[in-house]
Amino acid sequence: MAGYLKGMNASGPVTLFDRALLRAHRHRAVKAGEPATFLLDRVTEELADRLGLILRDFDMAVDLGTPTDALARHLRQLPKVRDVIRLSDGPEPFCSTDGLTAVADEEALPLKPQSVSLIASALALQTVNDLPGTLIQIARALKPDGLFVAALLGGRTLYELRDALMAAEAEIDGGLSPRVAPFTDVREAGSLLQRAGLALPVTDLDTLTVRYDNAFALFRDLRAMGATNMLIERTRKPATRGLFMRTAEIYQERYGAGDGRIPATFEILYLSGWAPHESQQKPLRPGSAKARLAEALGTNEFAAGEKAGPGKP
């Protein structure tokens, strides 16, 4: 592992997320009983399936920040992956200790330039404070033609809960406070991959709708995920039972189904990009086409400003 890690003395700017509190929430979830990992299990399986379709080998893979060891286990089972290192920002309560693990902050990666051939991450990067900076570091750490794949929560995640919480808080307290984290938009993600210097960027969405008996069942699952409010600008005033009761009522009124259950939307944003390499396909230069579009379409071509006259199609 020493051949891949470098000294680490930088830290990213803290703007949105209290990452120490996030770790505390995860530890609390484990102490309280069985943690809820169904979302991570689904996402890590999907990432492993996508990697299984890629026809190339990876000598060194990094699992970046995934809250459980599920992704690392999937990577180790792929014949095309030789070695796997997990990078975690602290002692992880959701994981076993199997395999190589290094403590690292996703905003200050301890990876040497061009040292690894695959970096994969599942449901971790939506809670970094400097996502553009993290993507730039990922691009630098990849060998030429190395691959980055990730899944993170998209912009419509828990939109029903956000709506109900805002309505309840406005009604009870006469104002709003940050309670649900902002998530990345698919168009923003594609742009960030390009800005980081990754080639052939691809982004796509998968929407998972989970149905609960009521909002309190959803609250319990979020707590069991360690995913309750970790925003820096969160209110320090304890939320009252009345606020949660009213949130549950509004949630039911606005989104409840005929059977009395409520939906909770989780939008999963999948990203991939390659470190540039001369073997990769490149877009054609403007004006380099050898055939005209009009010929392919079987129609006539007119200069700018020219109008079709009588008899012209």
pLDDT at 69: 86
pLDDT at 182: 58
Which distant-in-sequence residues (6+ apart) come within 8 Å of 293 by Cβ? 301
pLDDT exceeds 50 at position 2: no
Instruction: State which H helix or E strand residue 149 sits in.
Output: strand 142-153
Of 4-18, 85-99, 133-147, the range with the highest mean pLDDT is: 133-147
Q: How large a percentage of the chain has pLDDT more than 90?
A: 41
**Gap between the Cα atoms of 84 and 267, Å rounded:** 28
Mean pLDDT within 135-155: 94
CB 193 within 8 Å of CB 271: yes
The angle subtended at Cα 271 by Cα 60 and Cα 188, nearest 5°, is: 135
pLDDT exceeds 80 at position 311: no
19-277: CATH number: 3.40.50.150
Nearest to 214 by CA among 164, 179, 168, 170: 164
pLDDT in tens, 77-126: 999 999 999 987 655 545 555 567 777 777 788 899 999 999 999 998 88
Q: How large a percentage of the chain has pLDDT more than 70?
A: 66
CB 63 within 8 Å of CB 116: no
pLDDT at 104: 73
CA distances from 91 to 26, 27, 96, 173 (A): 10, 9, 11, 38
- Confidence band of 232 (pLDDT split at 50, 70, 90): very low
pLDDT in tens, 27-76: 665 666 666 688 889 999 999 999 999 988 999 999 998 888 889 999 99
- The token duo for 137 is 């570091």
pLDDT at 213: 95
pLDDT in tens, 194-227: 999 999 999 999 999 999 999 999 988 888 876 6
pLDDT exceeds 50 at position 4: no
pLDDT at 27: 60
Higher pLDDT, 135 or 237: 135
**Gap between the Cα atoms of 27 and 225, Å rounded:** 10
Mean pLDDT of the chain: 78
